[in-house]
């Protein structure tokens, strides 16, 4: 069966609104969507699909539509045909990374646990891990990244703490820690400067602010190892 065989738009929308269980094919649209059979897209907030390993198609059972996101994509719960958890499946098989910045905390924690299992089992994208060297990263474009490196310098500007992985903030990657993250990270009396020399793995969207930067809005974006 052609996975992109058109379905009548009204019939599809009616099925979605009614929460019908009829399965339909969908193909991944990185970074965070699925294209349904009629060309409409379903948003997958909190996931970042890997274009190398996530080919599809998947037979899914969309639930009731809650609305649309700012890109006009459907917001609806969806399951794999046969009552499978679609989001968990995509993470478990190494088809997607977790973006905890847009998920409820408990859900993000559960999915990050599933992601660590996929990494240990070298499934999907973890066969060639997408972890980048933070000290070598030079980036001008907006994209989601998983980076790891040793913190060389810690600074503060206003209410933000910055973790720098290189000598030149105009070229080298920095992490900007939001005040809420600092409060949780240093709750035991530790100081930001104590992170110098530690290896840190971080995830998030790379922005261009003087140099490449990731805004850290939740501690779930960070994994900190001893120096």
Residue ranges and CATH numbers for the domains of the chain are 9-120 (2.40.50.90), 131-224 (2.40.50.140)
CB 93 within 8 A of CB 124: yes
- What is the reported pLDDT for 210? 81
User: In this predicted model, what pLDDT tens digit does every residue of 146-171 receive, in sequence order?
Assistant: 999 999 999 999 999 999 999 887 78
Give the residue-averaged pLDDT of 116-127.
97
pTM score of the predicted model: 0.85
**Spatial distance between the Cα atoms of 189 and 169, rounded to a whole number of angstroms:** 27
Predicted confidence at residue 21, as pLDDT, reads 52
Confidence check: pLDDT of 2 > 70: no
Between 106 and 82, where is the model more confident?
106
Closest CA to 53 of 88, 6, 4, 94: 94
- Is the pLDDT reported for residue 76 higher than 50? yes
- The rounded percent of the chain whose pLDDT value lies above 90 is 62
pLDDT: is 137 or 2 the higher one? Answer: 137
Burial of residue 160, with CB atoms counted within 10 A of its CB: 0-12 exposed, 13-18 middle, 19 or more buried: middle
The pLDDT of residue 142 is 84
Give the pLDDT score at 20: 47
Angle, vertex CA 54, rays to CA 59 and CA 217, nearest 5: 105
Model confidence at 12, pLDDT cuts 50, 70, 90, reads: very low
- pLDDT recorded at residue 10: 38
Looking at per-residue confidence, does 21 or 110 come out higher?
Answer: 110
Q: Where are the beta strands (DSSP E) in 81-157?
A: 84-85, 96-98, 131-133, 143-150, 153-157
Mean pLDDT (the chain) is 87
């Amino acid at each position: 069966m052609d996975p992109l065989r058109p379905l009548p738009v009204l019939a599809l929308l009616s099925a979605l609104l009614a929460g019908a269980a009829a399965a339909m094919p969908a193909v991944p649209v990185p970074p965070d969507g699925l294209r349904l059979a009629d060309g409409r897209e379903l948003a997958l907030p909190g996931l970042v699909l890997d274009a190398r390993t996530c080919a599809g198609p998947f037979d899914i059972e969309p639930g009731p539509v809650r609305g649309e996101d700012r890109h006009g994509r459907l917001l609806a719960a969806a399951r794999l045909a046969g009552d499978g958890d679609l989001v968990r499946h995509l993470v478990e098989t190494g088809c997607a990374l977790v973006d905890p910045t847009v998920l409820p905390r408990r859900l993000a924690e559960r999915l990050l646990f599933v992601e660590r299992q996929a990494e240990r089992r070298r499934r999907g994208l973890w066969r060639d891990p997408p972890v980048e060297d933070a000290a070598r990263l030079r980036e001008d474009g907006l994209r989601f990244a998983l980076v790891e490196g040793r913190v060389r310098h810690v600074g503060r500007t206003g209410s933000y703490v910055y973790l720098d992985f290189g000598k030149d903030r105009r070229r080298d990657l920095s992490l900007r820690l939001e005040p809420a993250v600092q409060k949780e990270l240093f709750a035991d009396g530790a100081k930001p400067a104590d992170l110098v020399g530690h290896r840190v793995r971080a995830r998030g969207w790379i922005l261009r602010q003087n140099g490449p930067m990731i805004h850290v809005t939740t501690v779930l974006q960070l994994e900190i190892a001893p120096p």
